[in-house]
Amino acid sequence: MSRYVNYRDFDWVLLIFVLIICALGVTEIYSATRQTRFDGIQIKQIYWIFAGIGIMFLMSLVSYQALLENVYWMYIVSIISLIAVLIFGRSYLGARRWIDFHFFHFQPSEWVKLILILTMAKYFSEYQDRELPFRELVKAGMIVVVPMLLVMKQPDLGTALTYVPIAVIALFLGGMKIRHGIIMVLIAGVLMPVIWHYGLKPYQKQRLETLVSPEADAKGAGYQVIQSLVAVGSGGLTGKGAFKGTQTQGQFLPVPHTDFIFAAWAEEHGFVGAVVLLLLYFLVLMRLIQNAQTAPDRAGTFIIMGVAGVLAFHILVNVGMVVGFMPVTGIPLPLMSYGGSSVLFMFLALGIVMNVRMRRFVN
């Protein structure tokens, strides 16, 4: 490690906010799963968090410039891993999303997000013009579209959609012209009917239809949304208290420790608790943006803003899903929802953020 790089430049304030969210997540996982078949999984979540912290500190020591130099090879490996999932992946409920190594399950689609952030940062750091020509826009778009299509093939529409903010932020910061942005929106609008008829599975279409009227299938596709809305509404101003949520403790709310953990939190801690949690996420995002502004180079700014974009997208979609404004997509709430892949990805991403921050004053 360079003598100019040390942990005095580490963003300890950001880490404190992150650990507070993790602690609230572990508490809510325990509350939502006690006396169920998932009882005790909060211990696994704690293990994942500690492993993530270790990975974060290790990642902060490896120069992000060295990662950028090899990112195209990493991108190729990521594409191969996604193809391997389709061929050798473990099938669960009709989807192939993991490779089973017996002692752990590897989900490549989570890690591809980070590789895409680095790839886009490398691509645009090498392109110095203020405005992005349309041909470069197409090339950059294809970098994201290829893994998106492979992930949708699994099928995993939720994870595939998390790649979109990476592309949008990179193109925006890279100097995309307004007319090019309008063209892209128009093309997306034209392709929507094609995607609807040929790109989406029947259950995915059903989820989108349920968004408009969940009561139409209250015992089927609309059940999760209805129970989530009941849980959030029953929390009132201050909540029913830990272990006292009727929807959560009565097991009416599906998977309250994963995708719908925000609903479980809102039921037990009310509007005040929900606002406090969202405020913590807001503070994390503000720290990320501040770090992006002080990054030592263009690539560093792209990396941190890419991480901030993915985090913000996860929060908006998950919370929107819980309150009925977004379709059920299976996107977890970062640092709160149970899951090793999600936790490790987030800490790995934060490690690269710290990596950039710690090299602000390196010549």
Query: How would you write the pLDDT of the chain (363 residues) with one tens digit per residue?
Result: 444 567 788 899 999 999 999 999 999 999 988 888 888 899 999 999 999 999 999 998 888 999 999 999 999 999 999 998 888 776 665 566 777 666 666 678 888 999 999 999 998 887 765 566 777 788 888 899 999 989 888 878 888 889 999 988 988 887 777 777 787 778 778 877 777 777 677 766 777 766 666 776 667 667 888 888 899 988 889 889 888 888 887 778 888 888 899 999 999 999 999 999 999 999 999 999 999 999 988 899 999 999 999 999 999 999 999 988 888 887 899 999 998 888 999 999 999 999 999 887 665
The pLDDT of residue 282 is: 97
Q: Which amino acid is at 121?
A: A
User: Looking at this protein, which amino acid is placed at residue 298?
Assistant: R
Burial letters 175-211, b for 16+ CB under 10 A, else e: bbeeebeeebeeeeeeeeeeeeeeebeeebebbeebb
Q: What tokens appear for 83 in the block?
A: 């193809």
- What single string gives the DSSP state of each residue in 131-167? SB-HHHHHHHHHHHHHHHHHHHTTT-HHHHHTTHHHH
User: How far apart, in whole angstroms, are the C-alpha atoms of residue 195 and residue 285?
Assistant: 32
Q: How far apart are CA 15 and CA 189, in angstroms?
A: 40
Residue 89 DSSP symbol: P
DSSP string across 211-272: HH-GGGGTTTTTHHHHHHHHHHHHTTTT-S-TT--HHHHTT-SSSTTTTTHHHHHHHHHHHH
User: Distance (Å, rounded) from C-alpha 230 to C-alpha 232?
Assistant: 6
Bridge partners for 132 per DSSP: 176
Cis peptide before 155 (omega within 30 of 0): yes
pLDDT, residue 87, reads 84
Which of 291, 343, 286, 355 has its CA nearest to residue 314? 343
Six token digits for residue 147 = 């893994």
Q: What is the pLDDT of residue 93?
A: 56
Phi, psi of 294 (to 5 degrees): -105, 10
The enclosing H or E element of 52 equals helix 41-61
Q: How far apart are CA 344 and CA 53, in angstroms?
A: 8
**Please, what sign has the CA dihedral across residues 158, 159, 165, 168?**
negative
* Domain range summary for the chain, segments of one domain joined by +: 7-357
Find the helix packing angle between 12-33 and 261-293, rounded to 10°: 170
- Residue 287 in contact with residue 17, Cβ under 8 Å? yes
Query: With b meaning 16 or more CB within 10 Å and e meaning fewer, what string describes 36-47?
Result: eebeebbeebee
Burial label, 303 (beta-carbon count in 10 A; 0-12, 13-18, 19+): buried
